[in-house]
Structures are given as C-alpha cells and as structure tokens.
C-alpha cells in the first residue's frame, strides 16, 4: 500500500479546473511539442462539470458512437468535441452530447484500478478527414518494454505554471517495466496497467491529459490515468478490458455494415 506521502503526490491526471471568474486556462503535455494539426483525428476534447466547476479531459473515438476515456473523468453535463486542434475551434457543430456513460463498475479512485470509461454518443458521428476512429487490439497484448509510443492532449505544458498554448500537444514516451514504475511511484501497479516515460526524462502526460490514448504502433494501447510529478506515468491497459468493452458496445450495434464501426481491429 502506498504511503500517505505518496498518496498525496500521486493524483489522477485530472484536467484543469476552469473557474468562470478567472477565464480559460488549459493545461498540456509536459516536455513535448505541438502536434501537426489534425494528425490525430481520433482525439476527443471532453468537458464536464462537478460542483459548479468545469473540468477538461482527453478521450478518443473508438467507434462512430463511442468515445473512450478514463473513469475518473466522469461528471455531469459531459460534452465531447471532435476534430479539434486548437481549443478555439470548438463549436456547436463539432461538440456532441452523451447518451450513456459507462464507467467501469470496479473503478477504484484510491488505487486507480479499472480507470476506464466509455461514452456513448447521442448520435453517430460523421467521419471525415479530421474525425476518425482509432483501432484497439483484438486480444490482450503486452507491449514490449522499450517500445516507443505517443501520447497527446490539451493538458499542462509546465508543471509549475498554469499556462497553455490552446493547441493539441504530443510527446513520445517509452514503455517501462511495471516493477520499475511501482518502485518509483511507491504504489502497486497491476497487470491491467502499463507504464511509459523513462525516469530522468521530461516527456510525460500531465494534468489535463487524463483519458487521452497511449498510442503504440498506431493502436490505442493505454489510457492516461495517473502519475507523479515526473515520469513514468501510468496508463490503463486497454486490452485487459476487451470483454467489458465488447459487452458495452454490443448494447448499441451499428445499423450499417461499415468497417469504421468495428471497435476492435488487428
């Protein structure tokens, strides 16, 4: 069990709090760079409210009617914007309502276990050059240690300053052993989690990037979950939850036989 000190430091990578009196502050990726505009067309910008405050998370489109994100990104009045690069591009045409929220029933906010959630859109999303589905693994797959992956988001760019560029940022991170990650973070890292970002480097996801995908070889492999002040960061290993994902998605089967509807690809 993590020490009290560690639990104070190890916060879920929740997005910034937007206070209507302070204006728009948006956090982003640490140690990364601006992504090529619309080069990650699966990315979703998620906003929701809790106790009168607005929070921001990332997510990603896995089927025309489903967006995947972290379980700790739940709240009321959830809105999903797709096809964005700059936050200022958000409008009524690219922002969608959520019909159903499927948070994993065994999500534990203290241990961060089962930190995964599916958002069923109110309507099927029309795909285009800026809005596309990203593939998931078909079966439980372990990504080899040392694999270089990519994570993007509209989260914090500086660990100490609450400033942002208002554009999608990205950073490459390397998969590290869960045991190494556990030793650094001083808390259990189980087999349903995956760690990325080598200790001693600057590249990492940060506050505001929660729910964004860890993309390895073009496949959504993890979900930004939590971490310390420095790498590595911890991600939900998506392939560990394939039975649950299939079950939820079977509730709303597509009406057309279109390959883009298939959430699980090789």
Helix (H) or strand (E) holding 182: helix 178-185
Q: Which string of DSSP letters, residue by residue, matches 84-150?
A: -SBGGG--TTTEEEEEEEEE-TT--TTT-TT--EEEEESSPPPPBTTB---EE-SS--PPPTT-EEE
241-248 long-range contacts (CB < 8 A, ≥24 apart) are 241/104, 241/114, 241/116, 241/192, 242/136, 242/137, 242/138, 242/139, 242/140, 244/104, 244/116, 245/68, 245/118, 245/136, 248/66, 248/102, 248/118
The number of CA neighbours under 13 Å toward the Cβ of 261 is: 10
Polymer length of the chain? 266
Give the whole-angstrom CA distance, residue 72 versus residue 109: 7
Catalytic residue among 47, 81, 164, 210: 210
Coil, helix or strand at residue 34: strand
Catalytic residue among 65, 81, 104, 115: 115
Give the whole-angstrom CA distance, residue 196 versus residue 217: 14
115 is catalytic: yes
Catalytic residue among 47, 72, 81, 225: 72
Six-digit token pair at 257?
A: 């036989």
Per-residue buried b or exposed e for 40-52, using 16+ beta carbons within 10 Å of the residue's own CB: bbbbbbbbbeeee
210 is catalytic: yes
Report, as residue numbers or ranges, the catalytic residues.
Answer: 72, 115, 210
């Amino acid at each position: 069990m993590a020490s009290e000190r560690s639990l104070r430091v190890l916060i879920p990578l929740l997005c910034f709090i937007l206070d209507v009196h302070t204006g728009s502050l948006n956090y982003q990726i640490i140690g990364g760079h601006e992504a090529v505009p619309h080069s990650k067309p699966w990315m979703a910008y998620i906003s929701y409210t809790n106790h009168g405050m607005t929070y921001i998370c990332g997510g990603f489109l896995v089927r025309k009617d489903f967006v995947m994100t972290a379980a700790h990104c739940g709240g009321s009045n959830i809105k999903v914007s797709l096809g964005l690069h700059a936050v200022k591009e958000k409008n009524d045409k690219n922002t969608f309502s959520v019909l159903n929220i499927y948070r994993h029933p065994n999500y534990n906010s203290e241990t961060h276990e089962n930190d995964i959630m599916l958002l069923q859109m109110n309507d099927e999303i029309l795909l285009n050059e800026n809005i596309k589905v990203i593939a998931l693994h078909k079966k439980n797959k372990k990504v080899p240690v040392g694999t270089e992956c990519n994570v993007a988001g509209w989260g914090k760019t500086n660990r100490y300053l609450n400033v942002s560029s208002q554009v999608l940022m990205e950073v490459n991170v390397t998969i590290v052993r869960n045991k190494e990650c556990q030793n650094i973070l001083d808390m259990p890292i189980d087999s349903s989690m995956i760690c990325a970002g080598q200790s001693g480097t600057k590249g990492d996801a940060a506050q505001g990037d929660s729910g964004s995908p860890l993309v390895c070889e073009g496949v959504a492999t993890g979900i930004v979950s939590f971490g310390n002040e420095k790498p590595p960061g911890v991600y939900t290993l998506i392939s560990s939850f394939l039975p649950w994902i299939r079950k939820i998605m079977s509730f709303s089967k597509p009406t057309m036989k279109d390959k883009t509807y298939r959430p699980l690809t090789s």
